[in-house]
Structure 1
Amino acid sequence: MRHTSKQYPKQNSQDPKQFRGGEKKVMKKSLSLVVAAAMTLTTASVAFADTAPATTDLTAQQKFDALKELGIFNGYPDGSAGLDKQMTRAEFAKVLTKLAKLTENAAAAKIYTDVPATHWAAPFIGASTEAKLMNGLGANKFGPSGQVTVEQIAKVADLVAGLEPIEGEVSGKVSAWAKGYVAAAVKAGLLPELPSYQTNATRQLLVEVTYDLAKPVEKELKAVKAVQSGAKKVTVTFNHAASADEKAALTYELKSGPTSYPVTATYSEDNTSAVLSVAYLPAGDFTLTVKGSDPINVKIEAEAAKKIDITATTVQPAANQDLGVKVYNQFGEAMSVSPTISSYNVTKGKQLGNGNTLNLQAGAADEAALNDNILVTAVYPAAGLSINKTLKVTNGSAATSIKIEDVKPLNGSARVSVNQTGLVLPMTLVDANGQTVKLPAGTATLAAGQNSFSYAGLVFFISDSAIVKGFSVDTNGVITFNTLAKAGTVYITVTNPATQATANLALVVNDVPKVKTFQLGNSGSVVVKGEKVVLPYTAVDTFGNAIAPKDLSLANVKFNAFGNEITPVKNAKGELEFTFNQTGTTNIYVYVDGVQQTSTIGVEVRDEAKFTAVNGIKDVATTYEVDASNDFDQDNIILMDNYGRTSNVAAGKFAVSSDNKAVVDYVGGKLVAKAAGTATITVSSDANTGITNYTFTVNVVASSSITSYAIDTIGTQYGKSDGSTKTDGHATAVTLVGKTASGVTVALVSNVPDFVTVQDESILKTTGTSVYGLKAGKTTVSAYFNGAKVADQEVTVSEDAPVVKTVEFDKDEYTTTVGAAPAFTVTVKDQYGKVIATPVGSIIVNDKAIVDNKLKGLKVGSTTVTYVASNNTQDTAVVVVNP
C-alpha cells in the first residue's frame, strides 16, 4: 500500500494499558478475536473484490467509501469523510467493533461513569472493552472524546492482523512500550514511516490501516499476456506489480517448436510488465513460458518498413552534416536499412551529394552558405516509401533565443566535481520561426591567456580556464565538457552577436569529497605483533555524508601509534587493516588535515604468535578399503597457536608417519591402505619449536567387510529438454561410498560404479556413469557395482535456467609491480554448483590510476577491484602495486 505522510499535532503518549491488546494476561483470550477477525476479513475481501481490487492504487477517499459500504466507517452529517480530523477513542471503538464483527454490548460500558447509556458509542465501547481491545483511563473513566495516538493504533492493528511485536529500529519517535508493535506494523506495511508515532492519529490514517487489514491478499504473480512489441522484443504483462523477490525468481523460456530463444528481461518502472529482448526473432508461432504461469502463445510477425522520415530540422555550413534519414518498422523502431537519399541546393541550383551526410563547409564540393535551402529526398523502394524536406542552412547566429539549464551531475555522482569527464551543457537555441538550431559537431578550446572563443556564430565566455577550458559537440548537437583540477565557481556566458541573444550559467564545481571526521573503533579480536588486524571505523565527508568503505580515501588522514606514523591497508571489503611491529599498550591517534580527532582508542599489541599444537585434520577418511588412498597434505592439517586460533599448516612445514606401514603408509602426499588392520597416524609440524603432535587411528578393511554401498549426494540437476545439459557442464558424475555392517563409511579403491540407470528417463538421462536433466521432476538413480544394484538415490531436476549464484576471486589480495599484472582467476558458479565457463561480467577498478581493467600495475599503490556478474552478484579483491 502507499501512504501519504501526514503532520499530526503533538500529544503525550497515553498509558498502553488503555489498549489491552498489549497485556500478556489477555493475549490468550484475544486469540479468539484474531480468529473472528480473520473470518470477518474474508467476508470483507469478498465485498472489496467488486469495488477495489488489491492491485488498484486507491485514494484515501476511495478506501473510505469502500469501508463505508461495509458499515465499518460512517461519514459526518454533511456527508464528508473528515479524513483530516483526529480520531477519538469512541470512533476507534466503533471501527474495532465493526472490523472484527464484535457483538455490540452497551451494558459492558456501564463500568465507565463518563459513558451514559444514551451515548452513541456505548455499544461499541462496551464491545471493545469486553474483547480486551480497549480499557479505561482509570477512576472508571473511558474518555470517549479523547484522541488515539498512532502507536496505539499500531498495537491494535498488530493484534487484529495476528502480528507479534518484533525487535527492530524505528526511525521515528516512539514510546518504549510501543516500539515492537510499531516496528511490526511498519514492516508489514500497515503503517508508513513517520517522524513520530506519539502524535494523534487522523481518520485518514485509520482508514489506510483498516483498509489494509480488510483488503484481499494479492494473488500469486502470474503472466497474463504476451505480445510482440518490437522486431526483437516481446512484452509480457503480469497480474500485479512484481516484487523484488518475485522478479529474482522469474524465469522465461521463449520457444518456437523445439528451438529456444534466450531472452533478457527489462522491467517497467511500475514492475507490472517486462520487455523480453531477443538477439534473433524470426516470424512464426512461439510459446512463452514464465515460471509459475501457464504457457502463452505469441504470434511473431516479420519486421516491415512502414514509415520514412527526415529528422534533421536544419543543417550547418560544416562537415559531416547528418540529415537524420530513418526508416521505421511497424513498431516505431528505426531499421538498419539504407534508403536512397539525394540533396539539392535550391538557392544555388546545385545538385549535392547522395547519402545521409553532407559536407557543407567552405571549399567542399557540396559547399553551402548560410540561409541556403537544401531539398532532401529520401526513397525506400522496397516498401514504396518516400519523403521530401527542405532544410535551411543555419548556425548559431540564427538563434534569437538562447537558454542554458543547470548542469546535472554524472550518473552515480551527487554533485559536479573536479576532474569529471562528459558533463552535459544543456543549451537550447531557437530561431525566429521557433525552430531549434543545432550546433555542428566539433570541438572548441580557450586559447592561452584568453577567456572567450567563437563557435558556429556564437561567442562563448568562460571565466576560469583552470576549471573549464572548452567543450565538444556531437552529431546530435549535444554539448559536453570536462572539469579540470581546480574547484570553484565558473561563469559561462553564450552570446549571439547577430541577434543580441544571450544566456548565462554559474556552475559550481566541487572539490572531490574528502574525509572531514574520522573515528576508529576497537577490534573484536586479539592484536598480535606483525599480524594484520581489522579496526572498524566511521568516516564523514566534507558534505556531511557517511563515506562508504569502497569510496574511502585516506589521502588527508594520518594515524599514529607508539609515537610513530602507521599506514593501514584497505582490504577487499573496504576494511582498514593495521599492522603493529612492536608490543605493548598504545593509543591510536587519528589526524584529519593535521587536526587530531577527538576520539582515540587504546590497543594492546601482544607478542608474536607461535603454533602450539597440530589441532586436527579435515576432509580425511579414517576407514579404507584395502588398496584405497586419500590425498593428505597441508590443506588437511590444522594448527593452533598460543592465542587459540587455528589455521592450515604451511606447505613443507609438516610430516606424517605411520606406526604400521604394512597397514597404512604415507606415500607421495597420500595415505595408502595396504592391508587389513589398524594403524596410528602421527602428524607433526616444524612451523616453530614445541608443537604438540596430533595422532589419529586409521582402520583398513578387506573388500569383503563392505556390506553395502550408498550413492554420494548428487544434488539438484538442471533440466533442459534439448539435452544440451549433457555437454554444457551440468552433467554430474555418480560416485559411491562403502558401508560396513555397523554403518561406518569406507573410502573405496574405486568409487565409480559399473553403470547407472534412471527410473524415468524423460526426467533424467544417463551418459556413462553421469546423469543430466531433461525436465522438471523427481526420479530415482540406481548404481550397479560388481554386477548387482547396490544403491538408489532420489534426484530432483529443475528447469530453472542457470543464473549466477556465487562469484569468487582465487585470492583476497594480489601483489604485482608497475607494468605487470598478477595471475588471477574468477570462478563463477550457478545455483547448481556448476562452474559457468564463459560468464558475462566485468571487472570494475576503484582507482584506475593504479591498475587498469586487466589489473596491470600503472603506479605504486593499492586499490580494490570488483568482478560484477550479469545479475550483479560480485566479489572484491585488493591489488597492491609495488615499484
Structure 2
Amino acid sequence: MRETSNSLSKQNSQQPKQFRGGEKKVMKKSLSLLVAIAMVFSMFAAVASAAEKQTAGEYLQEIGVIKGNLEGNLNEDKEWKREDLTVLLSRLLGVEKAASEHANTHEFTDVTNSFYDGYISWAKEEKLMEGKGNGKFGYNDPLTNQQFAAVVLRALKVEVEYADVPKVAVESKLVAEDTDFAANALRGVTYDVIVKALNTEVAGTGKKLGTILGLKGFEVTDLKLVSASAVVASEIKLNFNTKVAAIDAKDVVVTDKNGAEVFVEEAKADGETVTVKLAATLTNDAEYTVHVATAKSTEGSEVKDASATFTYKKSAIASVAIKNTTIARGDDVEYIVKDTAGNDITKDFPLSAFEVNSSDLSVVNASLNGAGIGKSIVVISVPDSAITTGNVVVTVNEATALVLETLQVKNAADETVADNTLYTNTNGYKVVAEAKRQNGSAVTGATYSFVSRNPSIAVVDTNHNGTREASIIPVQAGTATIVVTATVDGVTVSKTLLVTVKAEAKLAGLKVDKTTVVLKDANGLPDSVNVTLLDQYNGTYKGAANSVVTLVYDKVDAQLNATATGDAPGAVPVGGTKYTVAKTAVDGVASFQFTGLVKGNFTATITITLPSGAKQTQRISVVVSDQTVTNGYVVEAVDGLKLDSATHTDPGKHFGKTSTDVKVFTKNAAGAKIAEVTLGVTLNSQKAQDSILQFPTTDSVAPIPGKVGKETVNVAVNNVVVGTLTFEVDYSSATIINKVQVNKASISLAKNTDLMNVLFSTSTTNGAISLIDKYGAIITANAAVGGNVQILSSNSTIVTNDGNLVAGATGKVVLTIQIEGKIYTVNVNVTE
C-alpha cells in the first residue's frame, strides 16, 4: 500500500476492522465480505507460507492484496490501525477505487488525514465499521486481538457481549486458547495466514477464497470431460481436465451403440478422475458413450451435457498372483490379476476362469477358502497357458484381526439411546456389542467383557456370562468411559464407548401460561392459569404438582390470606368473597381455575416449593368485571396447541395430544368470558393444499397421521372468522419413516435372490435404500398392499410389483418406488 499522505504504510498497510466493544449489532453483508473478514482474522493460527521462493508478504504484494510503502517495505512489525482496515477491506472486495472516491460523509471529528475520508465513509455506509462514540472514529488507534475477534464474531452473525469475546472465540475455534487478547494485532503475522486462506476452499461454495475475491492467479479452469475408458468390464474411468468436486451417479448415463443403457451404481470423484461403477458388465469390442448431465470442479466450474465415447476391449491376462498368504479360517485366499500394462483386471476374472490346486484341501479347498487350520501349497493357473502363481504356501490360522462393529446403548424397550445419554432415575439400560472379522464376516463363540472406567458415574454389570450385552446403571451426573473387549480363539479387540449421565430430573422452576386472569362477576365463566413445573433441563417435571404448587390470594375485604387446597383433581374450591379458586394437577401441570364473584382488581401469588425448601413465586393479577355486553370472542384449544400425529408406545415420549376440541366464548370489553358459543362453530385451515391437519368434527382438530409442521386454523362462528389458532404437529412413533437414504442408484444380484434384502438396507450404509426412523434405527421395508413402500416394476416378468424376483428370470428392470409420497428409482440387473 502507498504510505505517503495518500498511502497507508506510515499508519499500516491493511488491517481488519473493529467495532465498539460491547456492541451487540449483527452485521449484514455479502458472502464475499464475510469470507474476507474471516480470512484476515485467521491470523491467529500458525501456518507456513504457500510461496516457495517468496515470503508470504511478497507473494501477496505481487497479486495486489498488499502494496507496502514507496520503498516496498511491508512493515511487518507494525501494529494495525483502524483506518487502514477500511482500505484493506475495500481492496479485498474489489472496490478500492470507488471507496477512495466516496464522498466524505462520515462526520468523525478525529480523522485528520483526508486520504481516509472516502474509505471510512464507505465502510460506515456499508456498516462495516463504526465510530467509538462521541463523534470519534478512533483514528490512529491500534486494534487488540480481542477487538479483532469481536469484529469477526459479529461479522459471522454471532451476537456476543464484548467481555465474552475471548471465551466465544476460543469455543468457536477461531483462535487458540493461548491467544493474548489484550495484545495489539501485528500485520506481519497475518501474511502467511492470508496466503493459506486464499488457497482454502470456502465451505459451501466449491471455490477457493482467492477465486471468490477475483485475485490474480486464482482464475477458474473451465471443467471439461476429456475422455472415458474401461480397463475392466464393470468399471469406467472418466478423465477431466481439472479436479472434480462433486458428481452424482444419477447424472451419469452409459449407453451402447444401440442406445441401450448400462446401469450405473456409483460415481466417485478422485482428483481429475471419476470412477463409475456399473451394475452390469460391458461387452467386449462394444462401443459405449458416457453422458454426464452435470459435474462440478473443486474451483466451482460446472460442466453440463458432456459426453465421451470409447470402445471396451477385454484385457488379456498377463499375470496372476496370490495377495494374502496368511488368512483366518473361513476367509478366502485373495488373488490379483493384471494385464500387460500392469492394470488390475481382477474384477473381470472370477475364480471359475482359473485352475486351482491345493496340496491339502482340508486346509485350503478348491474354492480358495480357508477350511481348516494348517498350511497348504496353493497354485492358481490360467488354463491352456503358462501363466501361474507358482507354488505358494498359504497358512490358515484361527480368527485374525477383529473389529467391534456394533457398540451402542439401548433402553428397556430395546431402543437405541440417543447420544448415549442416560438418566439416573431410569432403569433397564444395557450396552450391546458385536464383534466381526476385519473382512466383515461374522464370528461365533466370542466372549465379551465390559468395564466402566468411571464406576462413580456409571456401573456396568460384569456378571453377564461373556454375552454381548451387559446392563449399565447410571449413578450420578457426569461422563463415563465404557471399555468393551471381545475375544475369539485367543484374538482380542477392545473399543471404548463414551456415555453421558444426567442427574434424575428435579424440580427447578415454573412457568405460567398467563399472568392476568379476566373474569366476569357472578354467573360468568371461569378462567384458568396453568402452571408447568420445570426440571433442571427445562423439561416438564411430572408427578409433583399436587404437593408442591400452592396459591395464596391476597386479602379481600374481611377475608384473610388463604392457601388454595385440594391436591387432587376435582378438589373443592377454596371460597372467597370476591372470587373462588379450584386446583387440579395432571402430569406436572397444576391448573388453578378462577371464578369471579364481585367486581374488582385483585392479586394472587403462585408458589412452588423446591426440594431444598426454597420457594419460587409468580404474581397473578385477577380482574373481575361486571360488564355484560358482548364485545368479541375468545377461542381456545382444550388440550393445547401441540398435536402428536403418530404416538410412541411410551407415553413419556408423546409430543402432545392426538386431537383437541376447540371452544369459542363470547367476551366483554374487559376480556372476560361471558358464555360459551355452542352453535355455528366451524374450523378450516388457512392452507389451501398440503394441509397437515384434519377436522373430525366441526369443532375439533387432529393431525394427519405422520405429518409434521405448523399450521394455522381459522375459527368461525356462523361463517365469520372470530379467531385463529396455530398448531404445532410432530410425531413420537418409532415406526414412521423419518429419512430415506439412497445408497446406490443401481444394484446387481443373482437370480432367485431375495430382492427386498438387497434393495432395502438393514443398516445405514448397505443396500440401495435405507429407511430410518427419527431415533436413527432402521425400519423394515414392506412392499405388500398397505405397506410402507410401493413398488412398480418396468418389467413384471423379472420383478413383480411386490418386490419379488420371478423365479429363474434374468435381465434389467427399473423399479419405481414410492415412499412417504416421494418417488425413487433403482436400476436392477438380475444375472445368472
- TM category, shorter: 0.3 to 0.5
Give the structure-1-normalised TM-score.
Answer: 0.40
State the structure with bigger RCO (CA 8 A, min sep 6), 1 or 2: 2
Give the structure-2-normalised TM-score.
Answer: 0.42
